[in-house]
Structure 1
Amino acid sequence: MNDIARKDQTILQLPKPDKLLILLFALFVGLALWDEPQAMASLWFVWDAVLGVFPFLMLSVLIAAHARASSLDRMIAKAFTGHLAVMIISAAVVGAFSPFCSCGVIPLVAALLAMGVPLSAVMAFWLASPIMDPTMFVMTMGTLGFEFAAFKAVAAVGMGLVGGFSVAALQRFGAFRDPLRQSAAGCGCGAPDVSGKQPIIWRFWGDAARRLMFREATLSNAFFLGKWLVFAFTLESLMVAYMPEGLVMSALGGEGAGPIFLATVIGVPAYLNGYAALPLVSGLIGEGMEPAAGMAFLLAGGVTSIPASIAVFALARLPVFVAYLVLALLGTLIFSFGFQLVM
C-alpha cells in the first residue's frame, strides 16, 4: 500500500506540459500541413536568429542567476527609506535595474504597500520595473542595439519618476488614501525579502545551497527566455513571409505623432512578453516602422499589457489602477517623442 501511495504521489507530482511549447508544436505542425516550404523556412529562420542572439541570451541568463544566488534582490529595501523625494528617485532607479520578472513585481508591490511604504515610491518602482532590468537591457542591446537599449533604460527611470512625483502631488489633495484592495492586503507570498536584514553574498559559490540556487535559476531562466525567443522568432518569420508589403510602412511608418500614438494603443492588447516583443519590434522596424513607434510599443506594452493590467486591477483599488494606466500611457508618449527627437 505504501509503495502504491508513493507511486501515485509521484504521478501526481509530474510537471504540467508547457502550454507555449504545445502551441509552438501545433503551430509548426499546422504550418507544415498548410505550407510545407514555409515551415522549413521558418525553422531555419528561427535557428539563425537564435544563434545570433545566443551570446546575449547566455549573458542575460547568468546575470539573472547571479542576482538570485547572491540575494541581490534584498538591495531593494534601501530604495524605500529616507526623504520622500529621495525615496521616489531611488525606487525608480532600482525598479529599472532590479532583476525582477513581471510575475514577481505584483506580490512585491503588495508587500511594500502592506508594510506602509508610500504609494508614490511604490508607483515609481511599479512603473519602472516591467520596462527594464539587467536581463532586458542585454537582450534589447542584442536585438535593437545599444542606443535603443540605453534610451529604454532612461525611459524606464523617467516613467518611474513621472509616476512617483505625480502620485505624490495628487496625494497632497487627499487622493489614494487606501490604495490596496482589502482582498489583497495579505498578499506578498513569493515576494523577495524586503527587510534588508540578510546580507548580499557576491561570491556565492562558496555556499552549496547558493550554488544549487544558481544552477536552478540558470536552467529555469534559460528555458523561460529560450522558449519565448523561439516563439517570437517564429512569429517574426511568419510576419516576414505573409505580411503584405508596405502594410507596416502605411500604418506605423513615416514621421510625426501618428505612428507613436498608434503604437502606444496597439501595445496594450498586442504585447505578449518583454523578450518576445524585442525581435518582433526589430522585424517591424526592418519592415519600415518608425523606431520611435517601436519604443512606444515596448514602453506601453511592458507596463499596460492585458495580463499586467489584470494583475494591477486585482491588487489595487480602482483610482490607483486608473492612475497607473494613465501615468504609463502619458510616460510612454513623453519618452517616445523624446526618442524621436534624439534619433
Structure 2
Amino acid sequence: MSIQAPANPTPEAVNRRALRWLAGAIGFFTAWVAIYSQLAPFSAWAVSLLPLAPESHASEAVQFFIYDTPKVLMLLTLVVFAMGVVRSFFSPERTRALLAGKREGVGNVAAAGLGVVTPFCSCSAVPLFIGFVSAGVPLGVTFSFLIAAPMVNEVALGLLFALLGWEVALTYLAFGLGVAIVAGWVIGRLHLEGWLEEWVRNVRAGAVDLPAQNPIFVDRIKAGIEAVKDILGKVWIWIVAGIAAGAFIHGYVPEGLLASIMGREAWWSVPAAVLLGIPMYSNAAGIIPVVEALLGKGAALGTTLAFMMSVIALSLPEMIILRKVLSLKLIAVFVAVVGFGILAVGFLFNFLFS
C-alpha cells in the first residue's frame, strides 16, 4: 500500500505556522527572562527552608549551588539556541573563512572587546565559548573571549576604579586585554583544533541540516532547538559538577592563608598567588572585595591582581566544564599560556606600583 505525500501547504498555512512558532519563541524568551530574574531570591528562599545556620559555610555553599546551576544552564540554553539559529544563516565553513587567516588577529581583538562588555564569571562565559566553537569560529578567537569575559569587564573595572583609582583600573584594562588577545592569538597559531573533543570537531565540520535551499523562519527555530538538544545533552553533567566544585570552594576555602602568602613581596609570591587562585572560583564582583581586604593587609598590588586574574580566568570549575569540550592537552596549553600572561602582569604591576 503506497502512502501519498501531502500536498504543498498554501502560503496562508505557512504564515499561520510561522506565527505559531514566533509566538512560542516569544513566550519562551519571556518565561526565560522572568525565571532568570528570580534565581537570586529563589536561592535565598530555598536555603532558608533548610536546617542550615544563616551565613554558615554550608549555607553559602548550598545557596551558591542553587543559584549558579540554573543560571549557567539557562545561559547555555539561550546562547546555544541563538548560535543554532545563526548557523542556519552561515555555514561553519563560511564562518571560518570570515574569521580565519589574516583576519584572525582582528577576530582576537573583537572577541576580547566583546568580553569586556559581558559581565560573566568564567563558568557563565563557557556557554558562549561552546557556542562559538560549535559554530566554527577559530579556536584562538574563542579563547580570547573566554579569557576576557570574566577577567576584564565593566564590573571589574568599575570596582577597581572606585577602590584603587583610575590609574590601576586603566592599567588593568590594558594588560588584561593584552593577556586575552595575545594568549588567544598564540593558541590560534598553534593550530590545536585536533585537540578538541571529537563531538565538537564533528559539530564544527557538519553542516546545518535544513530542508530547503532557502529555509523559512520555522526551520531556523528548529535548527536552534536541535542545537540545544545536541550540545546541552552532552555538557550539562559537567556544568553541574563544575558548579558543585565552585560551591564547595566558595563556602569553605579560608582567606587567612591567602593573605599570609600574598602579603610577602618575595619573587615567589606571584606564582604562589596564581597557584592558589586556580582552584578557587568567583566572579569579578565577588573577588574584588577580597582584593581590597588583601591590599589592606599589606599584600603587594601585582601579587593580589595576579591572584584575582587566576581566580576568574583559570578557575577549577571552569576547567571541569571545559573538559567536555577540550582535551586535557588543550586545557594544559590554555592554562600554561594564560598563566604565563598573568605572571607577567603580576610582576609588572609590582614593579610599576611598588
Cα distance between partner residues in 1 of 2:260 and 2:154 = 34
Q: Tell whether the 8 Å contact from 2:151 to 2:176 is kept in structure 1 after alignment.
A: yes
Q: Tell whether the 8 Å contact from 2:261 to 2:273 is kept in structure 1 after alignment.
A: no
Return the offset for 1:119. Answer: 0.8
Aligned match of 2:326 in 316, 319, 325?
Answer: 316
Aligned match of 1:18 in 16, 23, 43?
Answer: 43
**Structure 2 equivalent of residue 167 of structure 1:** 187
Cα distance between partner residues in 1 of 2:125 and 2:258 = 33
Query: Per the alignment, in what secondary structure is the counterpart of residue 151 of structure 2?
Result: coil
Distance verdict in 2 for CA 1:25–1:251, change over 3 Å: farther
Q: Could you tell me which amino acid in structure 1 is paired with residue 197 of structure 2?
A: R
Query: Per the alignment, in what secondary structure is the counterpart of residue 160 of structure 1?
Result: helix
> Normalized against structure 1, the TM-score is what?
0.57
**Structure 1 equivalent of residue 107 of structure 2:** 87
**Structure 2 equivalent of residue 300 of structure 1:** 310
Aligned match of 2:118 in 66, 86, 98?
Answer: 98
Give me the identity figure in percent.
23
Query: Per the alignment, in what secondary structure is the counterpart of residue 332 of structure 2?
Result: helix
Q: Where does structure 1 lack aligned partners over 5 or more consecutive residues?
A: 1-12, 32-73, 188-231
**Structure 2 equivalent of residue 137 of structure 1:** 157
**Structure 2 equivalent of residue 113 of structure 1:** 133
Cα distance between partner residues in 1 of 2:180 and 2:335 = 13
**Structure 2 equivalent of residue 220 of structure 1:** none
1:11-38, Cα deviation, whole Å (9 max, x unpaired): xx9979516984999555769xxxxxxx
Aligned match of 1:149 in 166, 169, 179?
Answer: 169
| 2:268 is equivalent to residue 258 of structure 1 | yes
Q: Tell whether the 8 Å contact from 2:121 to 2:284 is kept in structure 1 after alignment.
A: no
**Structure 1 equivalent of residue 193 of structure 2:** 177
Q: Tell whether the 8 Å contact from 1:253 to 1:289 is kept in structure 2 after alignment.
A: yes
Q: Tell whether the 8 Å contact from 1:110 to 1:180 is kept in structure 2 after alignment.
A: no
| 2:288 is equivalent to residue 283 of structure 1 | no
Distance verdict in 2 for CA 1:276–1:316, change over 3 Å: same
Return the offset for 1:304. Answer: 1.1
Return the offset for 1:292. Answer: 1.1
Cα distance between partner residues in 2 of 1:132 and 1:80 = 23
1:36-59, Cα deviation, whole Å (9 max, x unpaired): xxxxxxxxxxxxxxxxxxxxxxxx
Return the offset for 1:164. Answer: 1.8
Q: Tell whether the 8 Å contact from 1:252 to 1:259 is kept in structure 2 after alignment.
A: yes
Distance verdict in 2 for CA 1:133–1:126, change over 3 Å: same
Q: Could you tell me which amino acid in structure 2 is paired with residue 160 of structure 1?
A: A
Distance verdict in 2 for CA 1:18–1:248, change over 3 Å: closer
**Structure 2 equivalent of residue 127 of structure 1:** 147
Cα distance between partner residues in 1 of 2:125 and 2:56 = 36
Q: Could you tell me which amino acid in structure 1 is paired with residue 345 of structure 2?
A: F
Runs of 4 or more above 6 Å deviation: 13-16
Q: Could you tell me which amino acid in structure 2 is paired with residue 294 of structure 1?
A: T
Q: Could you tell me which amino acid in structure 1 is paired with residue 272 of structure 2?
A: L
Cα distance between partner residues in 1 of 2:350 and 2:45 = 35
1:168-187, Cα deviation, whole Å (9 max, x unpaired): 3322xxxx133542455669
Distance verdict in 2 for CA 1:275–1:93, change over 3 Å: same
Matched residue count: 231
Cα distance between partner residues in 1 of 2:308 and 2:56 = 29
1:248-299, Cα deviation, whole Å (9 max, x unpaired): 7752224342221111111112343322211111111101111111111111
Q: Tell whether the 8 Å contact from 1:129 to 1:156 is kept in structure 2 after alignment.
A: no
Query: Per the alignment, in what secondary structure is the counterpart of residue 87 of structure 1?
Result: helix
> Normalized against structure 2, the TM-score is what?
0.55
Q: Could you tell me which amino acid in structure 2 is paired with residue 292 of structure 1?
A: G
Q: Tell whether the 8 Å contact from 1:96 to 1:156 is kept in structure 2 after alignment.
A: no
Correspondence 1:27-66 to 2 at 5 A: 28=54
Q: Tell whether the 8 Å contact from 1:124 to 1:161 is kept in structure 2 after alignment.
A: yes
Return the offset for 1:95. Answer: 2.2
